[in-house]
Structure 1
Amino acid sequence: MAKIIDLKTYTDKRGNLTVIEKVIPFDIKRIFYIYGVDDSVRGGHRHHKTIQAAICLVGSCVIWNDDGENQETFELDSPHKCLLLDPKDWHKMYKFTPDAILMVLASEQYDADDYIFEAYTDKQT
Structure 2
Amino acid sequence: MTRFQILKLPTHTDGRGSLTVLEGALPFPVVRSYWIYGADGQTRGGHRHRFTRQALVAVSGAVIIYMNDGVGEASVELMDPGQCLLVEPKDWHTMTFGEGAVLLVMSSHPYDRSEYIDEPYV
TM-score range, shorter chain: over 0.9
Residue in structure 2 matched with residue 113 of structure 1 by the alignment: 114
Match 1:86 to one of 78, 85, 88: 88
Deviation at 1:2, TM superposition (A): 2.9
- Give the AA of the match of 1:14: R
Verify the 8 A CA contact 1:2 1:86 in the aligned structure 2. Answer: no
Please, which moves more after superposition, 38-47 or 72-81? 38-47
Q: Deviations over 1:86-120 (max 9, x none)?
A: 000000011x2221000000000000011001001
Deviation at 1:40, TM superposition (A): 2.1
Runs of 5+ unmatched residues, structure 1: none
TM-score by length of 1: 0.93
- Give the AA of the match of 1:5: L
Q: Percent identity?
A: 45
Residue in structure 2 matched with residue 31 of structure 1 by the alignment: 33
Verify the 8 A CA contact 1:46 1:88 in the aligned structure 2. Answer: yes
Residue in structure 2 matched with residue 17 of structure 1 by the alignment: 19
The higher radius of gyration belongs to 1
- Give the AA of the match of 1:43: G
What is the distance in 2 between the residues matched to 1:49 and 1:15? Answer: 37
Verify the 8 A CA contact 1:45 1:117 in the aligned structure 2. Answer: yes
Say how many residue pairs are matched. 120
Residue correspondence of structure 1 range 36-51 to structure 2 within 5 A: 36-51=38-53
Residue in structure 2 matched with residue 100 of structure 1 by the alignment: 101
Verify the 8 A CA contact 1:2 1:89 in the aligned structure 2. Answer: no
Verify the 8 A CA contact 2:41 2:99 in the aligned structure 1. Answer: no
Residue in structure 2 matched with residue 5 of structure 1 by the alignment: 7
What is the distance in 1 between the residues matched to 2:87 and 2:73? Answer: 13
The verdict on how the C-alpha distance between 1:11 and 1:107 changes in structure 2, with shifts beyond 3 A counting, is same
Runs of 4+ off more than 6 Å: none
